[in-house]
Structures are given as C-alpha cells and as structure tokens.
Amino acid sequence: MSFVTHLECSVTGKTYEAGKPRNLSQDGAPLLVRYDLDRARREWKRDSVAQGPASMWRYAAMLPVRDPGNIISLGEGWTPLIRTERLGARLGLTSLWVKDEGVNPTQSFKARGQAAAISMCVEFGVRKVAIPSAGNAGGAMAAYAAAAGLEAHVFMPQDVPNANYLECMAAGAKVTLVDGLISDCGRLVAERKAAEGWFEVSTLKEPYRIEGKKTMGYEVAEQFGWDLPDVIFYPCGGGVGLIGMWKAFEEMEQLGWITPGKRPKMICVQTVGCMPIVKAYQEGKDRSEFFENAHTVAAGLRVPKALGDFLVLRAVRESGGTCVAVTDEEMMDAAIELGQDEGMFVAPEGGACVAALRKLIASGFLNRDERIVIYNTGAGTKYLEAYAARFPRYIATEMDKLGGLITPR
C-alpha cells in the first residue's frame, strides 16, 4: 500500500505524473514525491507501524513503490539509537544520542536512498543506472543494482577511499575513476547518459533517494515514542538526509502523528575545506556558490555545490537551527573521542557532528538539557586511510623486543 499521488517541483510547485521515470523538473529543480495525506491519516494508523518489518519498509505507505513485489531490500533501516552516557557527561549534556547509520547494508545511510531508487527503477522497467559518487552512494547503488539484476555504472574521484572502490567492483559495477571531484564525475554522467541509455540516480536528480532517506526522520520519531528530539546534527554533503527528515516531519505533522510545531533544530555540519552551504548561511543567501579547491578527508562532505542547497538552507532556517564548519583535525579528534568513550567506530562525518556540537555548546547556542541526536552516516571501516593517518602502525621484531625498541612500518 502506497499513498503516492504525484511529483512536485521543489521550486515552482508544478506537478508531474508519478508513474514514470523522471529526473529533474522542467525548471531544472529537484522533484519531490507527494502523497494523499488526508487518506493516509484515515487509513494508516500510527499504532500499526510496529507490526511492519524491522527495516525502513515499515513505512512503506509513505514510500513511492506501489507494487510490493518490486521492493529491493537488503534489510536497510531501523538502525540503533544509542544514548552516549560517557560522551554526554564529558560535554555536560543530559540527553545525547547517536543514530548509527553505519550498521546499514553497505555500511552507510546511502543504503536507504538506493533501496528506494533502485526499487523504483525495477517498478519502471529501467535496466541500466549510473551515478557520480564520492564513495558510499556508489557502493550502495552497486549493491542494490546487483540485487535487482541491473547494470550499474559508477563514476568516482580517483582518490576515493579504497573501500568504496572495491565495494563497487565486488558488486559487479562498471567503475570509472575520474581525475577530479564529484562535480566532474557528474558532468561525465550527464554527457554520456542519453547515448548509453542510463537512468541517472545522482543526488536529487531523481525523486526517490530522498524518500528512502526521509525514513531516518520517521525512525527517530518512533524510537522516541513519537516525541521528536530538540536538536539534530547532520553532516551535509548533498544534504539529502537533512532535507528528507524535514519532509518526514512535515508529513508526520499532517498525519497527526507528532505535535505540530515541535520540530528539532536542524544543524547542518560541513568542513572548513568544503563549506559551501555554511558560507551561504553565514552570508544570508538562499543558495550556495561552487566551493573552489574543495578538500577534506571526509569523502561524503567533499561536495563543492549541492543541487538541493536551497532546501537545506530552508530547513535550517525554518527550524531555528544553524550551519557549522569544523576542521579535519577537529573532526577526526572527535571521531576518535566517540570511539574511546562509546566504542563506536564512526565515519569522519559522524565525528564532524561531535566537533560541531562542542562548538555550539561553547557558544551557548544549545541548552545542555535539550535532547540532542547526532547522525553518524557511515562506518569507520569505510575510512581506514583517514584513521591510518592518525594511528601510525608499528611492528615489533624479536630483536626489537630484546632491545626495548619498536620500528615504524
């Protein structure tokens, strides 16, 4: 059962039929999936959600797949919400939580978006898909395309973490490494897709990845007994997760599932080496500009220009939140701190949120008694190169042991 009705241009509000594959609107803007929320409110009861699967598909009525037989799932979603006792105490907070998306299939939140997008490709009869990716989105797309029997093409920067490249190759995707950034990868996909017959599943260039990612918002509401947290920290490259959660909160308000007007402050986190959205926020702009010479060890945050930047900025401002940038050093220190305090091996992006939290506590922006949720978007195992730079490896030989010495590898 799905209550989907149509697609809507995120800029003009113009509507489009939902029953066929589409990328952007005629105005070049992201398309958003809309639902018959009045009917859903009558027919889909909040208490019935718990009877669904322990995956994001427990919210299938608010997802776009009309035929359940077309769902491609590897068990994505319903990730743990963990209270961080030691880190929270260290920061003087009474209620600090981590939503750990690193335990998803393919070890990142990207599994949610690709599960929805590839399921819709199956529903529409699409046979070939293509994506530019800084890492995790490509790996997730490759995995779900393999599960669906689709041909997958992934374009990645040549310095992408090795884990992401190998993941795509192991899933049978055709991988092209590009000397450049994700923006350069996107240009190549755009240039070739028509001739190659590819359906593009780039960030916000199709309507359905956002739908999978919005389930993070439904989940955090359900896991807190339908009482939303006060603050959400989210690492923003393309920012689709933040956009999706804000959409989920709007839907839940209209469904009557959560208290109207009580949404979290949304905190957009980027790095100093790539902070287009933070810069736009600081300058009071509605859209960002291309961020030149983008660099950061957090591959998922190295997005110099996000297509949906205006949607991120809108959600941040409507929520009373803010945008924060941290350095790579602050980010990695915080990721390690989270591991040492809580035993969680997180992506640098998760560490960025901890570092941003520390800044906002110091500035007085946040109340220490607020319920705060940090989204860790991936597993640390995807970023071994970043961690290896912080932990030089030493090998002790028998002779070294006798002499009390160790030798760097």
CATH number of the domain where residue 98 is located? 3.40.50.1100
pLDDT tens sequence across 157-179: 999 889 999 999 999 999 999 99
pLDDT at residue 403, as a whole number: 58
pLDDT tens sequence across 58-76: 999 999 999 999 999 999 9
Does residue 131 sit within a domain? Answer: no
pLDDT band at residue 243, thresholds of 50, 70 and 90?
very high
Q: What is the mean pLDDT of residues 310-329?
A: 98
Q: What is the mean pLDDT of residues 319-329?
A: 98
Cα angle, residue 133 at apex, residues 249 and 383 outer, rounded to 5°: 90
Structural domain of 291: 81-107+208-388
CB atoms within 10 A of CB 26: 9
Does residue 30 sit within a domain? Answer: no
pLDDT at residue 406, as a whole number: 52
Does residue 337 sit within a domain? Answer: yes
Does residue 165 sit within a domain? Answer: no
Residue 279's Cβ-count burial label (10 Å; 0-12, 13-18, 19+) is middle
| Residue among 61, 103, 27 at smallest CA distance from 379 | 103
Does residue 67 sit within a domain? Answer: no
Task: Answer yes or no: is pLDDT of 407 > 70.
Answer: no
pLDDT band at residue 192, thresholds of 50, 70 and 90?
very high
Does residue 250 sit within a domain? Answer: yes
pLDDT at residue 392, as a whole number: 79
Q: What is the DSSP string of 16-75?
A: E-SSS---S-TTS--EEEEE-HHHHHHH--GGGGGGS-SSGGGGGGGSS-SSGGG---SS
Residue 232 main-chain phi, psi, to 5 deg: -125, 125
Edge-to-edge strand list for the sheet holding 265-271: 81-83, 95-100, 371-376, 231-235, 265-271, 322-326
Q: What is the distance between the alpha carbons of residues 54 and 118, in angstroms, rounded to a whole number?
A: 20
Q: What is the DSSP string of 126-182?
A: --EEEEE-SSHHHHHHHHHHHHHT-EEEEEEETTS-HHHHHHHHHTT-EEEEESS-H
Does residue 328 sit within a domain? Answer: yes
The structure tokens 């000397």 sit at 179
Sign of the CA dihedral running 264, 267, 268, 269: negative
| Mean pLDDT score across all residues of the chain | 95
CB atoms within 10 A of CB 16: 16
pLDDT at residue 400, as a whole number: 60
Does residue 182 sit within a domain? Answer: no
pLDDT band at residue 135, thresholds of 50, 70 and 90?
confident
pLDDT at residue 275, as a whole number: 98
pLDDT at residue 397, as a whole number: 63
Query: The whole model's pTM is what?
Result: 0.93
| Residue among 314, 71, 308, 316 at smallest CA distance from 205 | 308
Task: Answer yes or no: is pLDDT of 187 > 60.
Answer: yes
Number of domains in the chain: 1
Task: Answer yes or no: is pLDDT of 186 > 60.
Answer: yes
